[in-house]
Amino acid sequence: MNTGNKAGLSSKDTSNRSVGGAASRGDELALPTTAPIVRPIRNVYCIGRNYKLHAAELGNAVPSEPMVFMKPSHALTWLDGQHTLSLPLHKGAVHHELELVLRIGRQVESGMTADEVVDGLALGIDFTLRDVQDELKKQGHPWLAAKGFLHSAPLTPFMAYPGTEATIHTPFQLKLNGNTVQQGAASDMIFNFDELIQYVAIHYGLGEGDLIFTGTPAGVGAVQEGDTLELLWNGACAGKGVIQTTEVK
Ligand code: MG
């Protein structure tokens, strides 16, 4: 996956591709950071149904413990305004799920908090093939086909973690073609950062370079070819991208 430089992404490469490190570009965006952290990414954990209103909008019960699934690291791509987001729109509805993404900076041990172990924060989208997922749920099959496809996990550049207290009260937002379709704050989560980190660490292991997509607030919906997405952190643009259809083969 690493193509030679530390970020795993050539500064001259503008193709839509999976990446294995943090963003090294994005200077034209109003990023809430002065120095992007560049580290390889390892495991990509995702949390389902972590906001009550989102669980309700899909007709799902509120979980009694974190619901964890994974995406391949190959699903990652960047929302740096220079890549299009090539998605399999021909496979049914592709929904946007705007999420806060934590990057873990060290081996996590029992009792450690987000303030001790998180070294980066980004906004990301957990793109979901909703029709495919509905069918997989009916059949009791794993979610990989609905959640793990290429480019299903685009990220803004990482900022240094502002600390849990500052992070949870900061609003984040997704604009689709200029209209706000999702907004939230981590203070509305069912399971907070510390609980998610402990749960994932205990059950699956959590270490340097791992990511956690922490769940989406309400307002998920389908994207179409040509749609423009803009992700905002505290009202400022942190990343953007344009939707493109994956060529059908
Ligand atoms: Mg999600």
Give the pLDDT of residue 63: 87
Distance CA 69, CA 76 (A): 15
Distance CA 44, CA 73 (A): 6
Look up residue 228 and give its two tokens.
């423009």
Kindly report the pTM of this predicted structure: 0.84
Residue 76's beta-bridge partner residues?
153
Give the pLDDT of residue 214: 98
Task: Kindly report the number of other CB atoms within 10 A of residue 106's CB atom.
Answer: 14
User: Side chain identity at 154, as an amino acid letter?
Assistant: P
Q: What spacing in Å lies between the alpha carbon of 5 and ligand 1's midpoint?
A: 30
Q: What is the DSSP letter of 90?
A: G
- C-alpha count within 13 angstroms, C-beta hemisphere, residue 60: 16
Q: What spacing in Å lies between the alpha carbon of 214 and ligand 1's midpoint?
A: 7
Q: What spacing in Å lies between the alpha carbon of 107 and ligand 1's midpoint?
A: 24
Q: What spacing in Å lies between the alpha carbon of 216 and ligand 1's midpoint?
A: 5
Look up residue 244 and give its two tokens.
């493109």
Q: What spacing in Å lies between the alpha carbon of 12 and ligand 1's midpoint?
A: 31
Q: Which H or E run includes 235?
A: none
- C-alpha count within 13 angstroms, C-beta hemisphere, residue 158: 26
For residue 67, give Cα distances in angstroms to 21, 71, 86, 110, 125: 26, 14, 27, 19, 17
Give residues with Cβ within 8 angstroms of 177, minimum separation 6: 227, 228
pLDDT (tens, 9 = 90+) of the chain, 249 residues, equals: 333 333 333 333 333 444 444 333 333 444 444 344 456 899 999 999 999 888 788 888 888 999 999 999 999 999 988 778 999 999 999 999 999 999 999 999 999 999 999 999 999 999 999 999 999 999 999 999 999 999 999 999 999 999 999 999 999 999 999 999 999 999 999 999 999 999 999 999 999 999 999 999 999 999 999 999 999 999 999 999 999 998 765
Q: What spacing in Å lies between the alpha carbon of 4 and ligand 1's midpoint?
A: 31
CATH of domain 44-77+95-171+182-218: 3.90.850.10
Q: What spacing in Å lies between the alpha carbon of 153 and ligand 1's midpoint?
A: 10
Q: What spacing in Å lies between the alpha carbon of 205 and ligand 1's midpoint?
A: 20
Domain borders along the chain are: 44-77+95-171+182-218
Cα pseudo-dihedral 122, 211, 71, 128, rounded to 10: -30
